[in-house]
Amino acid sequence: MKSNCACPLCGAPHACPFQLEIPPRAHAPRGLNGILNINKPQGKTSHDVVHVIRQMSGGARTGHAGTLDPIATGVLLVCLGRAVRVTEYLIEHDKTYRARVRLGIETDTYDATGTIVAQRAVTVTRAEVERALAEFVGRQMQTPPAYSAIKQDGVRLYKLARRGVEIERAPRPIEIYSITPREISLPDVEFDVHCSKGTYIRTLAHDLGARLGCGACLTALTRLASGHFALDDAVTLDELRAAFAQQRVEQYVHPLDEALVQFQAVAVNAENARRITQGHSLHCGRAFTTQLLRAYAPDGECIALLERGKSAGEWKPHKVFV
């Protein structure tokens, strides 16, 4: 005789701790625990933006997800409070940029902020530029620029470059999903690029110039999107400052689980929510397709990421957000 408390998801002879229907989120304030989609202004470093927001928030724990160079503008995701723990997942998201490149000029930084190291005449045609751009689409190995935030033996490469220290930089795998030319008014070329994390658009500009034989450097860059966070929905620092002053900043704070949409979601009852937050495992034999699960409490808040345990059907806390 079959038990009437068998798991409806996996058929195991026990009550299942997971439900697949996520309850609606309660309309309670999240406070300063979430993600800000900032429209970074030109001239500021990503660290500058984090510092300004930390001051605005009265010292809230703050961190950014994906560096933008000072020359760049656009989407910079800043995590507040408990959301700092999901920064690594935001960094993994693909990115979309709008880039402007000047052909015929090479600089040591690969962009317009650097020292010019070579100048050449630009004799290429529009068709040649379009063909060269198309050749960059796909999986490839890309060598990071010398002036970058990558660490070598614990030291940022740009610090070594400023000292005149030359370091061999290992190529890294990236993928460019698409490149769309927007305006080619030689010697200037503007295009949109959709790419994987870790792609340096400065290097892409430099490599485009090398492929065309005339050299090139990046003159402007805007990040249009990071994952599903788009520039159209980004807030400026001035708008954010006004929101803090008027105590309405929560309208700009996205829930931290928006960084985790790539993982399957399950809901648990209040007792199992308590068990998760205390570090206990739950068991379900369902064949989930992601290595991590988002776990939601009855009020609709994401309380944890769960990971597979050692025993069959075991799911244990990986990160707890409450």
By annotation, the residues acting in catalysis are 69
Closest among 229, 230, 226, 217 to 189, alpha carbons compared = 217
| Residue 285 in tokens | 């034999």
Is there a contact between 16 and 3 (Cβ–Cβ < 8 Å)?
Answer: no
- What's the one-letter identity of residue 194? H
Under DSSP, the state recorded for 230 is E
CA atoms within 13 A on the CB side of 200: 25
Contacts of residues 238-246 at CB distance under 8 Å and 24 or more positions apart, as own/partner, are 240/36, 240/38, 240/53, 240/56, 241/56, 244/56, 244/57
CA 234-179-206 angle, to 5 degrees, is 95
Under DSSP, the state recorded for 228 is T
Contacts of residues 62-65 at CB distance under 8 Å and 24 or more positions apart, as own/partner, are 63/87, 65/35, 65/90, 65/91, 65/226, 65/259
CB burial class (10 A; 0-12, 13-18, 19+) of residue 54? middle
| Residue 61 in tokens | 């724990």
Is there a contact between 69 and 188 (Cβ–Cβ < 8 Å)?
Answer: no
